[in-house]
Amino acid sequence: PPLEREGVSQRDEELVLVEDASLFPDNIEVGMSFERVGEDGEEEMIYRITDIADGKVVVDGNHPLAGTALIFDITV
């Protein structure tokens, strides 16, 4: 039978942020990814743009597979 495993990690809703569009370049699009840099200059994490509307940008720091079940069907 197929092996079912939890996705990469649990989805963390605290990693979904709504930011003002003025913080981003004019040419952003849904699906784009960017690194958010911490105050100390070190890479913090990768965020994806998931929505743009009414002067706001929704960004998500969760892995795209977070919270999804993965099913492996392997023949050895």
Percent above pLDDT 90 for the chain: 43
Residue 4: the pLDDT is: 47
pLDDT at site 23: 93
pLDDT of residue 50 exceeding 80: yes
Sheet-wide strand order for 16-20: 16-20, 56-60, 43-53, 33-37
Rounded to 5 degrees, φ, ψ at 41 are: 90, -5
How many CB atoms are closer than 10 A to CB 49? 18
Compare 39 and 55 and report the one with higher pLDDT. 55
pTM value is 0.71
Question: What is the mean pLDDT of the segment spanning 39-67?
Answer: 87
